[in-house]
A and B are shown apart, each in its own frame.
Chain A
Amino acid sequence: MSDLLTLSAVETHIGRYHILHGVELAVPEGRTTMLLGRNGAGKTTTLRTIMGLWRASRGEIRLGQKRIEALATPDIARAGIGYVPETMAVFSDLTVRENLVLAAREGAMDQARLDWIFGFFPPLKKFWLSRAGTLSGGQKQMLSFARAFIEERKLLLIDEPTKGLAPAIIGALIDCLKEVKRRGATILLVEQNFRVAQEIGDLVGVMDNGRVVHSGTMAELAADAMLQHRLLGLSLDTHQ
């Protein structure tokens, strides 16, 4: 299967800080790639650099055959990338409906797709006309997901979707991601919760100190407690 997204020797500076030190990563089409690593390893910076929210100071980022590292963020988004940031970043002054209207760039929202989203996230239908700022943390994450899924995207970048959420919400998000996967989406997902990563991921990249220090299959990492301990400083057993 061909790679939809490739990062080659990507370096990123934020102010005077050198955060990414030559990231090498390939995200195959139709697969879910998990980006794991300790806090501060550079996972969020990698996603933000792909989106153009922080500029790559060196290296190459390709979406398919197209180089995107020099493009402006709106052009990167229009090239077919959906982004769910760590902060969710819903527009709290706008209603749930208005948030989704903006996310549906091509025009009117597809009702069938909307019903599909409501199937996973009923609160979005219930609070359709409520301001997003009044939603709970879990509901905001649902809205953030819905914004990324309201139209077909080539690639989905999702940053720590389960952080700080209740188990019931995490379950709904996992179910939704599995269905999105089943439909053939390509996903690059940052996740701290190894159990979630194991459940969703096909492939894995582990980051440390601004580099990808391990690439392989999720099954391989999940089966090797020593590798987990060496790469992530954790044991799967203790995190289940």
Chain B
Amino acid sequence: MSAQDGATDAGAALPKAQADFLPLLLPLLVAIAGYLGMWCQSFPQLPSSSTWVTLTIAGLAMGMMIFIMASGLTLIFGLMDVLNFGHGAFIAIGAYLATLVLLPLGGWMQADSIWLNLAAVVPAVIVAMAGTAVLGLAFERVVIAPVYGQHLKQILITMGGMIVAEQILYALFGPQQIPLPLPTSLRGSFQIGEAAIEKYRVVCVVAGLVVFLSMLAILNRTRIGLLIRAGVENTEMVEALGYRITRLFVGVFMAGSALAGLGGVMWGLYREQVNAAMGGELLVLVFIVVIIGGLGSVTGCFIGALLVALATNYAGFLVPKLALVTDIALMVAVLLWRPRGLYPVTSR
């Protein structure tokens, strides 16, 4: 006898996987809301579309940088069930490692040649990502490994780790802001119609999309990706199928730390300065994005980052004081709608 539970014809066309597209529309809705808000302000005249385009591109660029920083954290929490408050340290360390490469190469950064600019920036990014990956490995083995499964201790020890890292940066580099100027070829803006679009923001959007699409490809098209997605849901069963999840943990932690380092470099170049406290300052934002996205979901994290950044940008323009609470208000609204985030993955 065969079970025909729900299946009357086994040879029928195979159905496609169900997809939940609703959260994908949210950034679009926020962008429309931003435009309508600007219209209310300029009513009865139509708002300046160039201002809206500039704000939108700035929001997208900021969102992509936040996504790059947060994507590692969401995987680390989803797969390893680790509340890593030390993630912010890797953001700051990545930025500082980049300055160690870029400051001696200041001449190349200021040259008019895009190739000389790249010759400075690419090694800086590689050093920042490799350095934070190695530090991530050490952090996971020394700090995190003894407290697996113990959330309270994780919060305390990773928060402590971040404070120690921050103080080491102060001790090594001093309390002052360190300038990190953009390379010449990334300065200035494109003119599209009346809208001025900064080149570096476009680079950020492209980099964020590349990271997002790469992560999606790895998670959906490779066996390692399948293992990560399965491990986010049920580590025990992954092990019972014969896979060593511990190695995967370490790999994901290193990748997550490297992404934080990359985000730190991009944020440092965006602000054109770095300081030891930048990691701690960004950590709250990164956690909000991870929670909005649904713990463990890369796509949710991507949408969450865009939502937060776009809403903050529009609010900052329309009602500057509102921008101070936009991210929290957005998180509350999303959690009221979907209490486990936009795309919940884990049952935790």
The interface-forming segment of B9-17, B80-88, B116-124, B333-341 is: B9-17
| Residue numbers in A under 8 Å from B242 (CB-CB) | 74, 77-78, 105
The smallest beta-carbon distance between A207 and chain B, in angstroms, is 21
A95 at the A/B interface (Cβ < 8 Å)?
yes
Q: What is the bound-complex CA distance between A51 and B234, given in angstroms?
A: 15
| Residue numbers in B under 8 Å from A173 (CB-CB) | 3
A227 at the A/B interface (Cβ < 8 Å)?
no
The smallest beta-carbon distance between A7 and chain B, in angstroms, is 18
Given known A-B contacts A93-B232, A94-B229, A129 and B3 have beta carbons under 8 A apart: no
| Residue numbers in B under 8 Å from A119 (CB-CB) | 2
* Pair A91/B236 contact, Cβ less than 8 Å: no
Give the residue name and chain of the A residue nearest to B237 (CB).
A89
* Pair A130/B241 contact, Cβ less than 8 Å: no
* Pair B239/A138 contact, Cβ less than 8 Å: no
| Residue numbers in A under 8 Å from B2 (CB-CB) | 119-122, 172, 175
* Pair B12/A89 contact, Cβ less than 8 Å: no
Among A77, A78, A91, A139, point to the contact of B233 (Cβ < 8 A).
A91
Main secondary structure on chain A at its contact with chain B?
A: helix
| Residue numbers in B under 8 Å from A83 (CB-CB) | 240
* Pair A93/B229 contact, Cβ less than 8 Å: yes
| Residue numbers in A under 8 Å from B239 (CB-CB) | 53, 72-74, 77
The smallest beta-carbon distance between B235 and chain A, in angstroms, is 10
Residue tally, chain B, CB below 8 Å to A = 35
| Residue numbers in B under 8 Å from A128 (CB-CB) | 14
Mark A74-85 against chain B: 1 for CB-CB distance below 8 A, else 0: 100110000101
Main secondary structure on chain B at its contact with chain A?
A: loop
A166 at the A/B interface (Cβ < 8 Å)?
yes
Mark B213-231 against chain A: 1 for CB-CB distance below 8 A, else 0: 0000000000100110110
Give the residue name and chain of the A residue nearest to B297 (CB).
A93
A123 at the A/B interface (Cβ < 8 Å)?
yes
* Pair B5/A166 contact, Cβ less than 8 Å: yes
* Pair A122/B10 contact, Cβ less than 8 Å: yes
A239 at the A/B interface (Cβ < 8 Å)?
no
* Pair A127/B15 contact, Cβ less than 8 Å: yes
Mark B237-253 against chain A: 1 for CB-CB distance below 8 A, else 0: 11111111100000000
The smallest beta-carbon distance between A129 and chain B, in angstroms, is 5
| Residue numbers in A under 8 Å from B345 (CB-CB) | 93
B22 at the A/B interface (Cβ < 8 Å)?
no
Q: What is the bound-complex CA distance between A94 and B232, given in angstroms?
A: 11
Give the residue name and chain of the B residue nearest to A98 (CB).
B226
B4 at the A/B interface (Cβ < 8 Å)?
yes
| Residue numbers in A under 8 Å from B238 (CB-CB) | 102
Q: Which of B233, B236, B240 has the most A CB atoms < 10 Å from its CB?
A: B240
| Residue numbers in A under 8 Å from B241 (CB-CB) | 77, 102-103, 105, 147
Which residues of B in the span 187-233 have a Cβ within 8 Å of any Cβ on A?
223, 226-227, 229-230, 232-233
Please name 10 pairs of A and B residues whose Cβ atoms are closer than 8 Å in the assembled complex, sorted by A.
Answer: A74-B239, A77-B240, A85-B237, A89-B236, A93-B345, A119-B2, A120-B3, A123-B4, A130-B17, A172-B3
